[in-house]
């Protein structure tokens, strides 16, 4: 399994870096986890968008799903043929499964319609033509190629499911956005890599739901993970990141990684 960090900023892109987006590749599956602002561009630098086997969205906050529209339009454009006339013939050979929280289908319908192309009405149907939209609920499990993808609801102001990917005896858990919850420990039980958000410099126990470095470390320790990778940074200044790492290390004695955009992490042999 290989994880490519496409973007690791919380909120909007900054410093030339995209928001949340991670490409997971196994022997027979290429899956995009989250698709925040900047991810469509970052993805295009490392993979042909038409090679995606699935997209999984942790929750419907803009920093985790905003670039779904350009990804859908890229997929749609790749399927268009112009056989001698102005009206495009659209051949969607393989709509890409997009696993999304409940309510996303309705959101997509309104969203795509905001940008009509009057000469090519099909361009306003990017989501329905290019995607196979599947709304999930917590506890659902999907098989994509050799990858098993499990969803588990964590704790965030907008319903957010952590995502677990198992393939070829290797496992990865990704939190999306969450506060401290036992469910995050269950999500990450014994995984090879826990990719955990670490938005905050200090704990916040309000209902909003974000982790600091120490929270991520505590989840990693309780879940018995082999490695912890911190992401979803409010700031990428060196001292800020060092504080996050030190904070996590005060709770977790295993290896800790501060991810960087463009970084590739290999899991297993």
Residues of this chain that interact with Zn ion (CB under 5 A) are 63, 177
Q: CB of residue 243 vs Zn ion: minimum separation in angstroms?
A: 19
Two structure tokens written together for 136? 């999930």
Residue closer to Zn ion (CB basis): 4 or 160 = 160
Q: CB of residue 226 vs Zn ion: minimum separation in angstroms?
A: 25
Q: CB of residue 11 vs Zn ion: minimum separation in angstroms?
A: 7
Q: CB of residue 20 vs Zn ion: minimum separation in angstroms?
A: 6
Residue closer to Zn ion (CB basis): 177 or 183 = 177
* Contact present, 4 and 25 (Cβ < 8 Å): yes
Which conformational region is residue 118 in: left (phi greater than 0), alpha (psi within -120 to 50 degrees), or beta?
A: alpha
List Cβ neighbours of 3 (8 Å cut-off, separation of 6 or more). 22, 23, 24, 172, 193, 195, 264, 265, 267
Residue closer to Zn ion (CB basis): 166 or 177 = 177
Helix (H) or strand (E) holding 250, with range, is: none
Residue closer to Zn ion (CB basis): 53 or 63 = 63
Exposed, middle or buried by CB within 10 Å (0-12, 13-18, 19+), for 73? buried
List Cβ neighbours of 63 (8 Å cut-off, separation of 6 or more). 9, 10, 11, 12, 19, 20, 36, 37
Residue closer to Zn ion (CB basis): 25 or 177 = 177
Helix (H) or strand (E) holding 3, with range, is: strand 2-7
Residue closer to Zn ion (CB basis): 107 or 109 = 107
Q: CB of residue 15 vs Zn ion: minimum separation in angstroms?
A: 17
- Kindly list the distances between the CA atom of residue 25 and the CA atoms of 119, 120, 200, 226, 244, in Å, as whole numbers in the listed order: 38, 34, 29, 19, 27
Q: CB of residue 58 vs Zn ion: minimum separation in angstroms?
A: 8
């Amino acid at each position: 399994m290989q994880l490519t960090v496409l973007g690791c900023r919380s909120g909007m892109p900054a410093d030339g870096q995209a928001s949340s987006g991670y490409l997971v590749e196994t022997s027979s599956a290429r899956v995009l986890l989250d698709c925040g602002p900047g991810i469509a561009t970052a993805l295009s630098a490392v993979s042909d968008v038409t090679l995606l086997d699935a997209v999984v969205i942790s929750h419907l906050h803009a920093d985790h799903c905003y670039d779904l529209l350009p990804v859908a339009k890229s997929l749609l454009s790749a399927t268009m043929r112009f056989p001698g006339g102005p009206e495009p013939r659209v051949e969607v050979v393989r709509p890409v499964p997009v696993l999304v929280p409940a309510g996303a289908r309705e959101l997509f319908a309104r969203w795509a319609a905001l940008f009509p192309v009057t000469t090519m009405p099909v361009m306003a149907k990017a989501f329905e033509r290019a995607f196979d939209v599947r709304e999930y609920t917590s506890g659902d499990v999907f098989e994509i190629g050799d990858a098993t993808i499990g969803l588990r609801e964590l704790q965030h102001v907008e319903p957010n499911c952590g995502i677990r990917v198992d393939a070829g005896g290797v496992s990865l858990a990704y939190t999306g956005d969450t506060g401290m919850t036992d469910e995050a420990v269950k999500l990450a039980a014994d995984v090879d890599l826990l990719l955990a958000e670490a938005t905050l410099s200090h704990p916040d126990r309000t209902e909003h739901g974000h982790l600091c470095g120490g929270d991520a470390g505590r989840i990693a320790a309780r879940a018995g993970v082999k490695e912890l990778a911190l992401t979803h940074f409010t700031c990428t200044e060196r001292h800020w990141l060092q504080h996050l790492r030190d904070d996590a290390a005060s709770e977790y004695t295993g290896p800790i990684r501060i991810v960087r955009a463009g970084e590739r992490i290999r899991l297993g042999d």
